[in-house]
Amino acid sequence: MARLYSSACVALIALITLFQTAQAVKFDIAGQTAADALPVCISHYIDSDVDFVVKVRVGPGPHQKVGLEITDDSEHLNQIWKKDGLTEELQRGSFKSHYAGDVVACFTNVLTEGYQPDPRYTRTVDIDFDIGSETIDYQKLAEAEKLKPMEVELRKLEDMVKDIVDNMEHLQAREEKMRNTNESTNARVQWFSTLTMVILVTLGVWQIFYLKRFFRKKRLID
């Protein structure tokens, strides 16, 4: 019975993992001169009051300096994290979102003075967002609360399900907002179409009376 229960838990974990959104991104960024360096940005939506961890590592590359700036998408573009001279050593930052919105991570790759852009000068950036339950260290939690392995797995399941429910609620809210926008747009289009028809009919009637008067003046009709 215990083995069956354990297998069911493993299957449930695998099923939930399928619904987890991949948050790791890996890409190459070309080296540019300081005057021409344009940022390469990625964004990730994070709900309000949610713990999240950003982990970033940059591959080797001579004569290049990679910088990172993370901001939110608020009106003031509040700076969350800034790192210069990223290396192969893993950099990790822990934060808490203050409101729902996109967190934007922008990278620049600036060449050392005297060097010009060249296909050889690129560096690989690896960035990963851990959000919600993904930020929890369950090993430390198990030690602190003296949890058994099965209890730890159940705690993971509980937190993962909560994250999925929160994501579903967010998607439902967005769907409702988009539906309301769509209905509002349809109502405006319908109103505009009705107004256009009224104007066209009015112009048609006016044109008929105008032509009738014109022909009468020219004595073309009685």
- To the question of domain 22-135 being in CATH 2.60.120.680, the answer is yes
pLDDT at 215: 81
Comparing 63 with 165, the larger pLDDT belongs to 63
**CB neighbours of 40 closer than 8 A, spacing ≥ 6?**
27, 29, 106, 107, 108, 125
Q: Is the pLDDT of residue 10 over 50?
A: no
Binned at pLDDT 50, 70 and 90, residue 117 comes out as: very high
> How far is 47 from 51, CA to CA, in rounded Å?
9
Longest CA pairwise span in the chain (Å): 107
Tens digits of residue pLDDT in 153-194: 888 788 788 878 877 887 888 888 889 989 889 999 999 999
CA angle 12, 13, 15 (to 5 degrees): 65
Res. 30 pLDDT band, cuts 50 70 90? very high
Per-residue tokens: 39: 């940022």
Structure tokens at 90: 């893993």
Q: 175 Cβ partners below 8 Å, 6+ apart?
A: none
d(CA 204, CA 210): 10
Q: Which residues pair with 126 in a beta bridge?
A: 26, 57
Find out whether 117 and 31 touch, Cβ atoms under 8 Å: yes
pLDDT at 177: 86
Q: Is the full-model pTM beyond 0.85?
A: no
Please give the pLDDT value at position 12.
Answer: 44
Q: In terms of pLDDT, which residue wins out, 31 or 145?
A: 31
